[in-house]
Homo-oligomer: A and B are copies of this chain.
Amino acid sequence: MSLDLSAIQGFAGNRLDRRGNDREDPALQARWRAAPDALHALFAGDQPLLKVQGDGLAGLLPAASAGGGGRESVFLGLMPDGRPVFATARDELPQGTAETEDGLVVGDLRALAAEGRLGEDVLGALAQAKSLLSWHRNHRFCARCGAETAQSPAGWRRDCAACGAQHFPRTDPVVIMLVRRGDACFLARQARFAPGVYSCLAGFVEPGETLEDAVRREVMEEAGLASGAVAYLCSQPWPFPSSLMIGCVADAAGGEVTLDLGELEDGRWFTRDEVALMLRGGHPAGLRAPPPLAIAHHLLRAFAEGRA
């Protein structure tokens, strides 16, 4: 199934058939919702709730675990075997809670993805769930008129009865780019990064620009470098809270680096060989690439292996 570099990114393994055309069919939605074999991706706030099963973890749970409701629930799609899957919000838990009263483990989606105890398909469904539930939780009111809104039957829209506005889930495109010049690439680190980690520059696409312009603007803003050609490489859903990471390669023109010190604490050029050492944990100064969960890891791997 690995048709492209996007398919191997973290959170990209979602195999649900979203059945988008059936979201406006209330009878079908009700039938799926009542199905005895329906599954739920449960969240308390931004934290997934999981069940320990032998050595493993179950991330999609039966309706009995979903709780009474009253909170949002979104139809995510059908499993390959036809079972309907929902994202369902339970009440938020006090900070630091490790286990719910009914014995579910409180997880962290990033840690779960790094650990590898859940299948890629389940991680993908949890990512979809997290983004949608986070959107609902932060959009209970109408941004146009301030009234309370209500979710549509399938949960892919919120409607305002007061002013008639319809609100749809939001996905924020972000460009992340390998900035290349000859045999070197430019990497930088933010103060919040783990020690020794250097990564690609990135930033949100803004209204009124192409992907390529967004890449060139960000490279200029963060490193003071002009860019020429920009090529798309791969993309990744990033549910923190709801980004679409768009991985590109940018050819930087000559000139000196001017770091945006408001955002970055360091940045410099790295050779292909140095990047290869960072990827396999053998850099003499202990510098490291981001983990495989991050699309930057795969941009750097493509560079180190001469594929970008």
Contacts and interface: CB of A to CB of B under 8 A. Distances in A.
A114 interface: no
A173 interface: yes
A285 interface: no
A242 interface: yes
A125 B169 CA distance: 27
B14 A244 contact: no
Contacts of A168: 204
Given A7-B212, A128-B209, A212-B6, A146 B144 contact: no
Given A21-B260, A142-B141, A172-B170, A207 B7 contact: no
A12 interface: yes
Interface residues of A, number: 64
A28 interface: no
Interface of A: 3-4, 6-7, 9, 11-12, 14, 18, 20-21, 124-125, 127-129, 131-132, 135, 138-148, 165, 167-173, 204-213, 217, 221, 228-230, 232, 234-237, 239, 242, 244, 246, 260, 262
7 contacts: A3-B230, A20-B217, A128-B207, A141-B142, A171-B205, A205-B244, A207-B242
